[in-house]
Amino acid sequence: MADSLVLTGVKDVKKHTGTEMLLTRPKRGGDTHALKEWWKAGSSKCYVQCTVFDVTVGGDTCKLAIDSNMSTNLRIDHDGAFGFEFFGINEVRRAALFDASYGLIEHYVFPVISGGKVMTVTPAGAVAKPGGGGTPSGPATSVTLVGTTSTEGDGSYTVDTTSTNGAGLRVSYDVASNVASNLTLVAGGTDYEEGDSFTVDGDTGVTGTVSIA
């Protein structure tokens, strides 16, 4: 199954084609949920107002949170397996996927911040995505930065890859880790196999896991 909808403002849903994504409202009333800023390391005490959809596949439910405002316009496509694509992005900076208890699975950085395409970020200690135990049929969706660091002022460095399933890695555009942003893959659009290396440009320290959409 798959689902698609357009969010306008913080609560108006249009062109909804399926039933997997369901708009929710907080028990306290109102249209948006107050969530802690998930993109900041540690326990942030700052909150952001979000539109939240329950996304249900089989017996699993996750929560897709959109950092929305009254001027937001965003089309959300769901692939039926907790994978999302975003189109027509206007007045929205970030989104995140949580489990049913608001444990962070991954989050998304939109072009107003990334300066390019939507970036998918898997933070350290992230909750596993439901249904992730099987072997994907396509390329792996993440790589691990193995034993590499970069300090401010370094121009580039090499990263060894370890895929999530041993499949090929399609690297196509900018990626970001939980501790650094604006990493540009020099060899964008290249297929990599597990154990291959590629070069990235960056000016901050980098460790951990990065997601590649």
DSSP calls for 146-169: -S----TT--EEEEE---SSSS-E
- The answer to whether the CB of 89 falls within 8 A of the CB of 110 is yes
Q: CA separation (Å) from 72 to 10, 32, 39, 110, 203?
A: 7, 13, 20, 12, 32
Beta bridge partners of 51: 66
Q: How far is CA 171 from CA 108, 119, 131, 213, in A?
A: 17, 12, 23, 8
pLDDT along the chain (213 residues), means of 10: 92 96 93 92 81 94 97 96 94 96 93 88 86 42 43 44 43 35 40 51 42 37
pLDDT at 28: 87
Domain spans, the chain: 3-119, 142-211
